Amino acid sequence: MGENTQELADHGPCSHPRKLLGCSLFALFTLSLIYFIFYSSPSSSFASYANLFNQFKTQRSPKNACLSPHPQEWLQCDYSDGKWVWDASVTGPRYDSENCDMKSTEKCVVNGKPDKGYLHWRWQPAGCNLSALDPAAFLRLVRGKHLAFVGDSTARNQAEALVCQLSTVAQPETAHRYEERLGRKFWRWVFPAPHSVNVSTYWSPLLVRAEGHSEDYAMTQQAVILDALTEPWAADVAAMDVMVISAGHWFPRPAMYYEDGEVVGVYSRPDVANKTDIGYLGVYRKVIRRTLEHVVGATSSAAGGGEKLVAVATIAPAHFDSKYSWNHRDACSRTKPFEEAEAEVAAKDAEMRTVVLEEVAAAAAAAARTRRRRQRWGVRFEALDVTRMATMRPDGHPGPYLFAHSYDLRPVPETVANDCLHWCAPGLVDTFNDMLAKMIVAGAG
């Protein structure tokens, strides 16, 4: 023992011929990493790093695979905490929504929203920076992968914004769509080779099966089956490499809840006097938990397992001004973000955000234990915490500008349909994708 210790002290750990090759490879990788970090251009550095690491990762033995799910960058910066700053360097929208495949009501530039300030505000996290997604680098990063956005129309809003931004460098094909009365329930865009990237949306506002208002807006309540996750997303989980879950706005609605074929409670249903009102928050937690458990089970049972990022978005609040009715032209007419002192997260939104953060943290801890036990990569859970940044942006909604050239040469009538829930694209919703890109890059490490 003493002789071996002295030999290492005199000659170093790379003096033995059998270790020389390993040390040489490590030195080569380190020098290459330094070059990419300090000398590559900002627009391509993160993709280059990811590609370099992937090449290195394929050469190492699975037995010695690193158990850390991602490097420290994502952990060291709280992207949810910050402020909106005016960015005069932004000279125009990120992409041309007019010629992009998205819901027409989100195309605020085309629809004639007069104030364009919503395009110039940039999210500045406290203590770090959030760079804008580079579409070419992003496509390289996710080459060959399936990105799925599951949940309500906020998930669809984010997916369509991402597809539109990626379309500035590569033209996608619409591979499959269902045209239904409520529309856009399942769409898939395919960016063909050399990208081979699929982006899908699965419209499932409660993640579990529901009948009533979510299927027929003329109805005022719904029946929610808590132990029946909806198809097709639940069946397609194993094929998803990146899964973004966004659901919340449909839960605080009158409902009757079923489990194992029995009514287990109601929410806001005074017409059902003999059933206990159990609220919606516990139901929301149960659905999120079951969704994440299903993802783990479906992924681990799939052939070969595989690595998957699951990002669960916290709720992005609506901004219907309480001083007006929902259909008043000024229901969401503010043209600037709230100041920090003005923007308090509503109690309901704060509670739902807490549910997501707690359930994601629990799922992430369980996944980390599984990785350590099985010595391989698996599911990585992250919270896409957008509640605070979205709360501060009452200016970012379409408002009454829902159709192309809505009010050209004429004033907006006092009573009009309003959208104070979804987000203009381009607009704030692109920041959600900037954060998602950071998550994916972190996973490449």
Residues serving a catalytic function are 153, 419, 422
CB 345 within 8 A of CB 388: yes
Tell me the C-alpha to C-alpha distance, in Å, between residue 204 and each of 150, 248, 267.
Answer: 7, 11, 20
The answer to whether residues 377 and 67 touch, using CB atoms and an 8 Å cutoff, is no
Classified as helix, coil or strand, 314 is coil
Q: Is 142 helix (H, G, I), strand (E, B) or coil?
A: coil
- Written as six digits, the tokens of 168 are 């500035």
Q: Confirm if 184 and 149 have CB atoms less than 8 A apart.
A: no
CA distance 35 to 53: 13
Neighbouring C-alpha atoms within 13 Å toward the C-beta of 386: 29
Annotate 168-182 with DSSP letters as a single string: TTS--EEEEE---SS
Q: 294-315: b or e for each residue (b if 16 or more CB lie within 10 Å)?
A: ebbebbeeeeeebebbbbbbbb
Query: Among 120, 133, 124, 121, which Cα is nearest to 81's?
Result: 124
Contact 78/373 with Cβ under 8 angstroms? Answer: no
Nearby residues of 143 by Cβ (< 8 Å), 6 or more positions away:
194, 195, 196, 197
**Could you tell me the CA-to-CA distances from 42 to 135, 168, 435 in Å, in that order?**
13, 19, 16
Those residues with Cβ within 8 angstroms of residue 194's Cβ, 6 or more apart along the chain or in another chain = 143
